Every structure is written in C-alpha cells, then in structure tokens.
C-alpha cells in the first residue's frame, strides 16, 4: 500500500496484493487518517490488487460510510474485473454512486467511473 498526498483535497491510496483479513488493518487505518483531514475526495486505486475477501470489502464500505458523515466522496479507480463483479453482486456499486449527504456539500458523488450517479 502507498499513499499519495500531493493533492491534500484528493489523497490517493494505492492497494496492491491481497486485501484480506490478515492484511486489511493498515488500509483501514490509512483511510481513517485520510478522512480525519476531511478531503473533498479519497481515491482508492486497485491497479495492483490481486485478491479481496469480505474484510477488504468491508473497508471499502467503511470508507464510503465514514466519508458520507464528513462530506468526502469515495472514488475507486483501476478496478479489476473480479472486484467490479464483487461490488455489483454485493450491491456496493449502488452505495458508491450516492453523493455524500449533509449541508454544505457541493461536490457530486461519482463513485465508480462510467456509472450514473443516483439522484434520489
């Protein structure tokens, strides 16, 4: 895992290898650190991801849910086909397409590239 904070309003967390029960805690901690700064966007880059289990998926949902509370949009990029399938089957794709809730939030939620944003 690596973190690019060149743009403090949109840190990029790159995840590689396996995202599973035994490896997920550093990602969760990094997501929480990034959210504490209240950026407009957090980007999770999965270009080097090889495997994900339910605990890895739970961290993605955690990042989205906590982002909703502080007005931060979660964006996923370089999503491998296997992860896209998992996100679709579990319904997480629909969550990620929702914009952050709350007063004063003026940036649209984009969730996944190429997916429509829910308006309801």
* CB burial readout 8-46, b (16+ within 10 A) else e: eebbbbbbeeebeeebbeebeebbeebbeeebebbbbbb
Structure tokens that stand for 6 in this block: 């060149």
Provide the residue ranges of all domains of the chain, joining segments of one domain with +.
2-96
Residue 3 dihedral angles phi and psi, to the nearest 5°? -130, 130
pLDDT tens digit sequence for 17-63: 999 999 999 999 999 999 999 999 999 999 999 999 999 999 999 99
Any residues with CB less than 8 A from the CB of 113 and at least 6 apart, and which?
Answer: 75, 76, 77, 79
pLDDT tens digit sequence for 80-111: 999 999 999 999 998 887 665 554 443 344 44
- Cα–Cα distances (Å) from 13 to 9, 36, 53, 89, 119, in that order, read 13, 15, 18, 24, 27
CATH number assigned to the domain with residue range 2-96, chosen from the 4 options 3.10.180.10, 3.40.250.10, 1.10.260.40, 3.30.750.24: 3.30.750.24
The structure's pTM equals 0.81
């Amino acid at each position: 895992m690596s973190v690019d904070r060149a743009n403090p309003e949109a840190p990029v967390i790159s995840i590689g290898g396996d995202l599973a029960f035994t490896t997920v805690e550093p990602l969760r901690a990094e997501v929480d650190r990034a959210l504490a700064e209240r950026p407009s966007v957090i980007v999770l880059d999965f270009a080097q991801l090889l495997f994900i289990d339910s605990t890895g998926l739970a961290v993605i949902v955690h990042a989205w849910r906590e982002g909703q509370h502080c007005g931060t949009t979660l964006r996923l990029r370089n999503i491998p086909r296997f992860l896209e399938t998992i996100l679709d089957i579990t319904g997480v794709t629909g969550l990620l397409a929702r914009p952050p809730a709350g007063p004063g939030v003026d940036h649209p939620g984009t969730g996944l590239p190429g997916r429509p944003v829910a308006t309801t």
